[in-house]
């Protein structure tokens, strides 16, 4: 098994060996790269430039004391103006930004770097609409996977990444109607292994199932690639007008099932609430629960008017509830302090 944590440790050790052997002051090439030994200057949140001595170490980002205050918006990452508007609305700047990468599409490094410079950890939901999980697993997509891995290695900023999210549902082509659990696991491990072979140590791997409430017949354990391939459990769950109306009813059954086979931290990788009489209370409870649970690293609010109005400002009352809940000091995440 090619364990994620072990890979990062080996990358750091190899970097140290290279430096002892006589690396230039600007630092060695990224692990697995064949350049001239120097890395380009990189940037941190806020745009401060520096010359990295080694690949960015994501370890401090895996379970910080403060919580990730995440969101996703229409138009990002090409247009980051929604981030500033949202921060003005809710009184807090997001520290994580989710956006989507279609399979076969080139990862835009300038946009990903801009997200990090803007103060957000990029969260990339990689969606294989143009390839089956079987094709990904059998190596026929390796040219694209390798290209993406090398792009991220050269970029040298941290990213969280999910692959084929909500795989336990039937609404995506990579879901239960189009692939088996075994095919999903094989594809996931293959992508992870290619990234590791290419020396990529800057990715936080997020295994992202949907909550089990609408698909109770689909067991999650067969879809789990293993702790050596996963850093976070990115659960997707939304409050609808009917069904689960509080945090424990919405997320509890899924959390309990997952805890039978892994202790990896949870992230609410997508969440939101339809307009309903309880939306303000749901917002208040969700933000408070995430802030107080030690096994949840944060949440990402789906702030779009898509099929229904999931946005925090769907009414003045819900926006006021969100602003109040967002003041919780547990969301005071400072990337600079994690270095």
How far, in Å, are 102, 128, 136, 180, 206 from residue 225 at the CA level? 22, 17, 15, 13, 11
* The predicted structure's pLDDT at residue 44: 52
Q: Which of 51-65, 123-137, 300-314 is predicted with the least confidence, judged by mean pLDDT?
A: 51-65
The predicted model gives 55-64 an average pLDDT of 97
Mean of per-residue pLDDT scores for the chain: 89
Give, for 71, the enclosing helix (H) or strand (E): strand 68-72
Task: Annotate 281-337 with DSSP letters as a single string.
Answer: HHHHHHHHHHHH-TTEEEEEEE--EESEE-STTSSHHHHHHHHHHTT-GGG---TGG
Token readout for 279 is 């939306």
The predicted model gives 72-81 an average pLDDT of 98
Cis amide leading into 77 (omega within 30): yes
pLDDT at residue 93 above 50? yes
Nearest CA among 213, 251, 249 for reference residue 233: 251
Which of the four pLDDT bands, split at 50, 70 and 90, describes residue 47? low
98 in catalytic set: no
198 in catalytic set: no
What is the share, in percent, of the chain residues with pLDDT greater than 90?
83
Among residues 98, 127, 270, 285, which one is catalytic? 270
Among residues 127, 166, 198, 285, which one is catalytic? 166
Q: Which of 14-18, 111-115, 213-217 is predicted with the least confidence, judged by mean pLDDT?
A: 14-18
* The predicted structure's pLDDT at residue 339: 74
Is-contact 309 319, C-beta < 8 A?
no
Give, for 206, the enclosing helix (H) or strand (E): strand 203-207
Residue range 225-254, pLDDT digits in tens: 999 999 999 999 999 999 999 999 999 999
Nearest CA among 261, 334, 315, 255 for reference residue 290: 255
pLDDT at residue 15 above 90? no
Task: Annotate 1-60 with DSSP letters as a single string.
Answer: ---HHHHHHHHHHHHHHHHHTT--TT-PPPTT--SSS-PPPEE-TTS-EE--SSS---GG
Residue range 212-226, pLDDT digits in tens: 999 999 999 999 999
Residue with the larger pLDDT of the pair 307 and 10: 307
Beta bridge partners of 127: 102
Which of the four pLDDT bands, split at 50, 70 and 90, describes residue 2? very low
């Amino acid at each position: 098994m090619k364990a994620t944590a072990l890979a990062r440790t080996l990358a750091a050790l190899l970097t140290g060996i290279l430096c002892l052997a006589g690396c230039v002051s600007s630092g060695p090439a990224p692990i697995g790269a064949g350049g001239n030994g120097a890395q380009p200057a990189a940037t941190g949140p806020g745009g401060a430039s520096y010359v990295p001595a080694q690949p960015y170490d994501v370890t401090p980002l895996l379970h910080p004391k403060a919580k990730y205050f995440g969101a996703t918006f229409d138009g990002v990452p090409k247009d980051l103006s929604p981030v500033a508007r949202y921060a003005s609305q809710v009184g807090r700047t997001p520290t994580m930004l989710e956006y989507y990468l279609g399979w076969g599409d080139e990862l835009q490094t300038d946009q990903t770097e801009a997200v990090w410079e803007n103060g957000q950890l990029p969260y990339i939901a990689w969606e294989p609409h143009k390839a089956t999980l079987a094709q990904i697993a059998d190596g026929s997509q390796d040219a694209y996977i390798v290209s993406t891995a090398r792009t991220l290695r050269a970029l040298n900023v941290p990213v969280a990444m999910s692959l084929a999210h909500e795989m336990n549902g039937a609404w995506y082509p990579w879901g239960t109607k189009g692939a088996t659990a075994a095919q999903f696991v094989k594809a996931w491990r293959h992508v992870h292994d290619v990234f590791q072979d290419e020396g990529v140590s800057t990715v936080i791997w997020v295994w992202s199932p949907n909550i089990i409430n609408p698909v109770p017949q689909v067991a999650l354990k067969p879809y789990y690639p293993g702790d050596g391939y996963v850093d976070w459990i990115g659960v997707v769950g939304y409050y609808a007008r009917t069904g689960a109306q509080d945090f424990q009813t919405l997320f509890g059954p899924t959390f309990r099932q997952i805890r039978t086979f892994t202790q990896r931290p949870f992230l609410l990788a997508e969440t939101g609430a339809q307009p309903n009489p309880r939306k303000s209370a749901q917002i208040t409870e969700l933000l408070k629960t995430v802030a107080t649970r030690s096994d949840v690293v944060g949440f990402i609010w789906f702030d779009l008017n898509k099929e229904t109005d999931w946005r925090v400002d769907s009414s003045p009352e819900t926006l006021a509830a969100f602003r109040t809940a967002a003041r919780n000091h547990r969301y005071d995440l400072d990337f600079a302090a994690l270095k």
